[in-house]
Structure 1
């Protein structure tokens, strides 16, 4: 980890509130006002939030039991999103890796259902599925994402159906490998990769996401998979909730060489706030988080940076950034570090909009390309969990039917087999 900036820490008491500062800055209240004015002008687009997971865990997805303005024991509700000046929230449909090869698709659909419900039933929210909708809504925009490619069960038709119901982003992996892409995590032993971090089918997934206009999310992917994707994707990609490896050497973070590849791709890294990823331990503070922003800016420029808080998907967050209402503290720290209004306008909002628009432009260029019919080879997946589409065994063998000493003609036999096949299918 890089050493944090040093200098005298002086506490100024201004108008009944305190600000911890490093070195000489303007007065606290004026910096606070500058922060809030900036966030009023450019409401934050937050790249990753796991509220839907908490709604399942705590309320079994029963929205009738939830007060959307005050949800206890979580980090996200409407009141706090308003206080945090959040103008758009990417909500993750997250399914545990244990569901891979089982009921991951069903569980993902249930999570999407609850997100669609809160986006339509909670009056402050509006579902958006395009960059134009994102720019035009006066409510808190909801953007749907799939967290973990295991939720499509290695099926491009399933991927297309998720897009049709509103999903606009998918991370290729979570903490488990899929049969076609590699995770940054070693928690699960399934589908271990040997020098093939992105299979031919994985490349087809990326290409189909480009064709559809779906954001390819590399958070949770291994570095090798991320490199392979950056060589395949013709649209910008995102890391929806990852931080800088040079500042905190956690495998979920992004090393400098990948940052530079991301810059060439014109993609986006949305900095995660989870203490383990920014501080390499259970505790951190706003200054440590700002160090990640500073490092990435030095490497590839502010135009490649966004914010992906990961609230409600993790437990330990930095002091002063405990929930979605606290985002102004981060922007105020970046202002104190002499980030310009133009840079912060990009970080808050405009960089994500640019990437979304470019993904849609690629989609429009590919509009005459037919849907991919690529299929994953059965030997690459857990075939015991898949129905092999063929007639029942009794119809697969030759049937001889005798009537006294008469054997049915071949044509009659085939006709009878055909009708039996239809009845049994």
Structure 2
């Protein structure tokens, strides 16, 4: 039997234990493509010509909860980054108001369970990159008040207080202020997201955190040697921490053959004056022309399942999840072309012998448990210490 024989069982499982996806960049795609004009890209309709994500395909894919990324590019800085993050948060709120039958705001693990019972998609937010707080713990607290429930410590570039996976090391992991950011996130109940950070930053965060951490969209470095992925020694820290590594679908992070090809494609984008992460029509034309001349190595559902098999072996089934990064990547694996594709991955895992109980942890149970654990830590810490008044200059200079 092959995975297609398990599709019906996969869909049945997702009807009960839907996917919690750790990372989707729809808000940024709406910013880039239509400047947040929701009439021009109405996600109540099929938008497959423009986006990986719309409500019909979320439903088809069995998505029950989504962390919407309120990402801003890491070359944004200062108040510009803060303002852009607020605009991202605003559009998520507008989506929730526009589609209340399908999307509902979720701030807690209990909210996620309530949404599941109601048959609506629990909508949470994650800020992608500490540039969004402009070195201000008060701004961090404000983002939490606005509904942000995780923050990725860095994006693709270093911060003054944390090293990124894809920049030249400058801090050596987390600085004193960076460690204070982690502690304040623990006090708030905001999940510390270690996708995008350097391995040194990962290890420093594990040493400091009092709550479970997540990797919202990262795969296994032992399977695909890319700095955006998680080394085995770090994966092995998850059981004691209680945290979660959510496999991503980005081909250059899951398929070794795609690493060099993707680097060349991104260099070609830059040479054409287009940001490598852009998803505009102009950017896609540049991509398509490059791909026509340089055939792309193609990842598949099986490629992603290989990462999950490895991550389960190293970290344990209680510490893995899914974070596709849809609408944040121009390319996706065959069979995981958009948010409708999750049943294909679940069918592949069932075909490999994963039990229904283990798949239910992967799709739903683990993510809900981790958020609830962060809430429990915050409840205890809030009685022990006041909001931190630390600043970057006082701690790091």
State TM-score, norm by structure 1. 0.80
Superimposed CA distance per residue, residues 12-38 of structure 1 (whole angstroms, 9 cap, x where no aligned partner): 8xxxxxxx55xxxxxx55x22211111
Paired with 1:221 and 1:119, the residues of 2 have a C-alpha distance of: 30
2:243 to 255, 259, 267: 267
Give the C-alpha shift of residue 83 in structure 1: 0.3
Superimposed CA distance per residue, residues 189-234 of structure 1 (whole angstroms, 9 cap, x where no aligned partner): 7xx515x311111111000000000010000010000000000000
**Pair 1:162-2:143 in alignment:** yes
State the SS of the aligned residue for 2:236. helix
Q: What is the correspondence of 1:25-424 to structure 2 with a 5 Å cutoff? A: 28-29=4-5, 31-69=6-44, 70-71=46-47, 72-101=49-78, 103-123=80-100, 124-137=102-115, 138=118, 139-186=120-167, 193-194=170-171, 196-280=172-256, 281=258, 282-368=297-383, 369-377=385-393
Distance 1:379 1:362, change over 3 A: closer
Superimposed CA distance per residue, residues 377-397 of structure 1 (whole angstroms, 9 cap, x where no aligned partner): 07969xxxxxxxxxxxxxxxx
**What is the number of equivalent residue pairs in this alignment?**
351
Give the C-alpha shift of residue 42 in structure 1: 0.2
Paired with 1:102 and 1:87, the residues of 2 have a C-alpha distance of: 34
Q: Which runs of 5+ in 2 are unaligned?
A: 259-296
**Aligned 8 A contact 1:90 1:142 in 2:** yes
Distance 1:122 1:197, change over 3 A: same
Paired with 1:164 and 1:97, the residues of 2 have a C-alpha distance of: 23
Give the C-alpha shift of residue 65 in structure 1: 2.3
- Which residue of 1 is the match for residue 268 of structure 2? none
Paired with 1:300 and 1:206, the residues of 2 have a C-alpha distance of: 22
**Aligned 8 A contact 2:176 2:396 in 1:** no
Give the C-alpha shift of residue 67 in structure 1: 1.5
State the SS of the aligned residue for 2:75. helix
Larger Rg: 1
State the SS of the aligned residue for 1:45. strand
Q: Which runs of 5+ in 1 are unaligned?
A: 1-11, 13-19, 22-27, 382-425
**Aligned 8 A contact 1:76 1:311 in 2:** yes
As a proportion of its length, which structure holds more helix? 2
**Aligned 8 A contact 1:120 1:127 in 2:** no
Give the C-alpha shift of residue 64 in structure 1: 2.8
State the SS of the aligned residue for 2:33. helix
Give the C-alpha shift of residue 300 in structure 1: 1.9
Give the C-alpha shift of residue 102 in structure 1: 5.2
Paired with 1:175 and 1:378, the residues of 2 have a C-alpha distance of: 26
Give the C-alpha shift of residue 121 in structure 1: 1.5
Comparing 45-54 with 292-301, which one deviates more in the overlay? 292-301
Paired with 2:378 and 2:79, the residues of 1 have a C-alpha distance of: 32
